[in-house]
Structure 1
Amino acid sequence: MRRSSPSAARTLAVAAALGLAVTGCTHDGGAGSDPAPSQPFATEGTATVAPPVVLPDSPAGRQAQWVLDQLAADTGPSPAQAEEHFADVFLGEVPAEDIPAVFDQLRPAGPWRPVDVDEAGADAVVRLHDGSGEPWRMVISVDDDGAISALFFQPDTGATTAPAESWAEVHERLTGLDADVSLLAARVGDDDTCEPIAEIDSAQPRPMASIFKLYVLGAVAQAVHTGQARWDDQLTITPDTRSLPSGELQNEPDGAQVSVAQAAAGMIAISDNTASDLLTELVGRDAVETAMAQMGHADPARNVPFLTTRDFFTIGWGPDDLRDDWQAAGPDERRDLLGAMPDGALTVSARDVDDPAWTFGVDWFGSARDICAVLASLHDGEGPDADPADAQMLRTILGHNRGVTIDESAWPYVAYKGGSAPGVVTGSWYGEREDGERFVYVMQAAAPDEAALADHAAFFSLAEDAFRLLSEE
Structure 2
Amino acid sequence: MRGVRTGAVLAAVLCGATACAGGNVKAPESTGDAQAAGRQLEWLAAASRHLPISEADAKAHISSAALSSFGGAAGLSKSLARIAPLTPQLPAKSALRGAAGWFNGAHGVSVFGGSAIDGSGMISGLYFTRQPASWGELDAGLRKIAPDVSFVTAEIDRKGRCRVVHGVHADTPRPIASASRLYILGALSDAVARDELSWETPLAVNDAWRSLPGSGTLQSKRAGSMMTLAQYADAMMSAGDGTASDHLLHRLGREAVENELTALGNRHAQADRPFLSARQELALKGAADYPASARRYLALPAGKRAEALTGLDAVKLSAVKPWEQPRDVDRIGWFASPMDVCAAFKGLADRAAKPGQSNVGHALSIADGGIQLDPKKYPTVWYKGGGEPGVLTSNYMVRTAGGRTLVTSVLLSDPKRPFSPNTELGLLAFSRAGVQLAGESEQ
Q: Same fold (TM over 0.5)?
A: yes
CA distance in 1, matches of 2:3, 2:99: 13
CA distance in 2, matches of 1:65, 1:213: 32
1:239 aligned to 178, 192, 207, which one? 207
CA distance in 2, matches of 1:166, 1:128: 23
1:366 has 2:333 as partner: no
1:282 aligned to 232, 251, 258, which one? 251
1:62-211 alignment to 2 at 5 Å? 66-69=29-32, 102=63, 128=100, 135-138=113-116, 153-158=124-129, 161=130, 163-211=131-179
Change (3 A) 1:315 1:178: same
Deviations 1:370-423 (A, max 9, x none): 1110011100148xxx73221x22111111222212122110111010111000
Residue number in structure 2 paired with 1:401: 367
TM-score, with normalisation over the residues of structure 2?
Answer: 0.74
Residue number in structure 2 paired with 1:429: 396
> What is the percent sequence identity of the aligned residues?
25
Q: Is the 8 A contact 1:224 1:231 kept in 2?
A: yes
Q: Is the 8 A contact 1:371 1:442 kept in 2?
A: yes
Aligned-pair distance for 1:464?
1.8
Runs of 4+ in 1 over 6 A off after TM superposition: 70-73, 103-106
CA distance in 2, matches of 1:447, 1:331: 24
CA distance in 1, matches of 2:62, 2:315: 47
Change (3 A) 1:116 1:66: closer
Q: Is the 8 A contact 1:324 1:360 kept in 2?
A: no
Aligned-partner residue type, residue 287 of structure 1: A
1:354 partner SS: coil
1:401 partner SS: coil
Aligned-pair distance for 1:261?
0.3
Q: Is the 8 A contact 1:164 1:465 kept in 2?
A: yes
CA distance in 1, matches of 2:437, 2:181: 28
CA distance in 2, matches of 1:139, 1:306: 41
Q: Is the 8 A contact 1:192 1:380 kept in 2?
A: no
Residue number in structure 2 paired with 1:412: 379
Deviations 1:168-211 (A, max 9, x none): 11111111123200110111012321000100111111100111
TM-score, with normalisation over the residues of structure 1?
Answer: 0.70
Aligned-pair distance for 1:439?
0.6
Deviations 1:74-116 (A, max 9, x none): xxxxxxxxxxxxxxxxxxxxxxxxxx9949999xxxxx97568
Aligned-partner residue type, residue 67 of structure 1: S
Change (3 A) 1:178 1:54: closer
Q: Is the 8 A contact 1:356 1:449 kept in 2?
A: yes
Q: Is the 8 A contact 2:4 2:393 kept in 1?
A: no
Q: Is the 8 A contact 2:325 2:418 kept in 1?
A: no
Q: Is the 8 A contact 2:202 2:228 kept in 1?
A: yes
1:341 has 2:312 as partner: yes
CA distance in 2, matches of 1:200, 1:327: 29
Change (3 A) 1:116 1:228: farther
Residue number in structure 1 paired with 2:39: none
Residue number in structure 1 paired with 2:439: 471
1:354 has 2:324 as partner: yes
CA distance in 2, matches of 1:174, 1:279: 34
CA distance in 2, matches of 1:315, 1:267: 21
Residue number in structure 1 paired with 2:241: 272
Residue number in structure 2 paired with 1:459: 427
CA distance in 2, matches of 1:152, 1:341: 45
Deviations 1:41-91 (A, max 9, x none): xxxxxxxxxxxx999xxxxxxx97951416769xxxxxxxxxxxxxxxxxx
Deviations 1:330-387 (A, max 9, x none): 233311221212437413455x3212123461110111111110011100148xxx73
Change (3 A) 1:467 1:68: farther
Aligned-pair distance for 1:438?
0.6
Residue number in structure 1 paired with 2:51: none
Q: Is the 8 A contact 1:312 1:362 kept in 2?
A: yes
Give the number of aligned pairs.
365
Aligned-partner residue type, residue 237 of structure 1: V
CA distance in 2, matches of 1:261, 1:444: 28
Q: Is the 8 A contact 1:136 1:153 kept in 2?
A: no
CA distance in 1, matches of 2:170, 2:295: 28
Change (3 A) 1:317 1:139: farther
Residue number in structure 2 paired with 1:35: none
2:265 aligned to 296, 306, 321, which one? 296
Report the RMSD for the aligned CA atoms in angstroms: 3.4
CA distance in 1, matches of 2:413, 2:299: 21
Aligned-pair distance for 1:258?
1.3
CA distance in 2, matches of 1:258, 1:103: 47
